[in-house]
Structure 1
Amino acid sequence: MADVTAKMVKELRDKTGAGMMDAKRALVAVDGNMEEAVDHLRESGLAQAAKKSGRIAAEGLANVYVNANTAVIAEVNAETDFVAKNDRFQNLVKDITVTIEENKPATVEEALEIKSGEETLSDSITNATNVIGEKLSLRRFDIVNKTDNEVFGSYLHQGGRIAVLTVLEGADEETAKDVAMHIAAINPKYISREQVSTEELEHEKKVLTEQALNEGKPANIVEKMIQGRLNKFLSEISMNDQPFVKDPDMTVGKFVESKGGTVKSFVRFEVGEGIEKRQENFADEVMSQLKK
């Protein structure tokens, strides 16, 4: 019998999308012949996930799992928003988030190699892909730690279309959740304007200067205009300066301060952000018609 190496198993998995153990068994069954192993998996119906590997998975769910002083926020993608309502997919997302918290991998690649019994996390995703019939993938995650004096706040919008995880010091979990809700709705880039880099400020100032000059404003008032517009820009991207969604009469910074707290960090995942979606999405077409 041929010696089936880890490299051979990986090559077969890359070619077929099959799970690790399925790939290993196929290679053993055909005495290590790669082409015969591919045929073996195809005949067994275990290579069907490979047909989906080129598809765009820009839908799905994000989830937050908190365990004591550690929390994980993760995004798992699918091809259509219909899958987000699938119980198997929802449970898969929850299981992935818990598995990441328990094992604390550094990268997505490391996470996919986490083993539970004889099956890796990658195998679980492949198996779910075969059952559900869509390309599924773990896109990203973040592991966040806090101290005993801090609290986590989490919020899922539309069941996980947007997920937010916050860390606050000196406030309670309800306040932290309220801040997470605000972040989900408004999507600030920073906690405070002090976090904005000098490079970003200079770039924005240059753009605003060109705008003012193109408007034909006198040079002596351009500088005052720029300062006013720059201040508006900073207030729009800095969470502490934004009107609080639950009480627009006060800023988020004032709201948190009134609760005796300080926002230490936040992570916001919006499913599919940054992924170019295909235009010819039948599911989107159907949903748009239903809404009319």
Structure 2
Amino acid sequence: MISDNMRGAGLMMAAMAAFTLNDTALKALAGEVPLFQLLFIRGVLATGALALMAYGMKALKFTMSRRDLLWVSLRAVGEASAAYFYLTALFNMPIANATAILQALPLTVTLGAALFMGMPFGWRRGLTIVVGFLGVLLIVRPGTEGFNIYSVYALLSVLCVTLRDLATRMISSAVPSMTVTVTSAGGVMAFFGVLQASAEWSPMEFRDFAILLTATTCIVAGYAFSVMVMRVGDISFVAPFRYTGLIWALILGWLVFGDWPQPLTLLGSAIIVGSGIYMLYREATLGRKLYKRNLARGGR
């Protein structure tokens, strides 16, 4: 019998594999099909598939409070902006480098929650974030020949995803997760549809469509696994498995594109992953302590 924790870990690893395969497929089309066109077509297909999935789960609910509508809209803005910055960076740098920079997300979300949401912020969290950001600097290495505008784009994508995740935290539980996912996918589709409307449409060969369909299938699967993983297992056990996405990026970057990171990039990646895992462990530990404290107070 497979435990809920192991099932959750498997779903998390499957989600990371799917997202990385999506990135790999899109990167394979870099220079052949314009980015706006790629993301608009993928957005149409992905939004349709996710909407059908949500409808089948009876999880579509577009009537929501103004407050939820604001945060859902802001989440969609973060999602669309992140897609632009991240994929522009991905098309111009090794996939492992871009993926490693994105692994700083738990650190930036913790910092953002402390700055804008009043979450507790002690010296341990602060030191962990500083160490993690040092790992990011080892990857982008500002001031060296390898540092360029696309390194900045990768960093901006982290900020946009942070905005997305902080907005997600502000959405009430009355809004189903699949509704939020469909809305964000639709926002990305609309955003890149507007940008593509003023650009020239590039003809696509059968190979291009096949690769794009693969990317769409992977992104939909990644979203589906991400929703499923929230329903099984202890999040403190499951969350660290998100870093398996970096392993997939290393393998696929080497097999598909012949890229292998420099030693400093690998060191920076290890520092980011270590900092992120410690942050997740710390959050889980404090969460359990708070739960026990509240439980004890309720029993008096």
**TM-score of the two chains, using structure 2 as the length reference:** 0.24
Q: Pick the structure with more helix per residue.
A: 2
Q: RCO greater where, 1 or 2, for CA within 8 Å and sep 6 or more?
A: 2
Which entry has the higher C-alpha Rg, 1 or 2? 1
**TM-score of the two chains, using structure 1 as the length reference:** 0.24
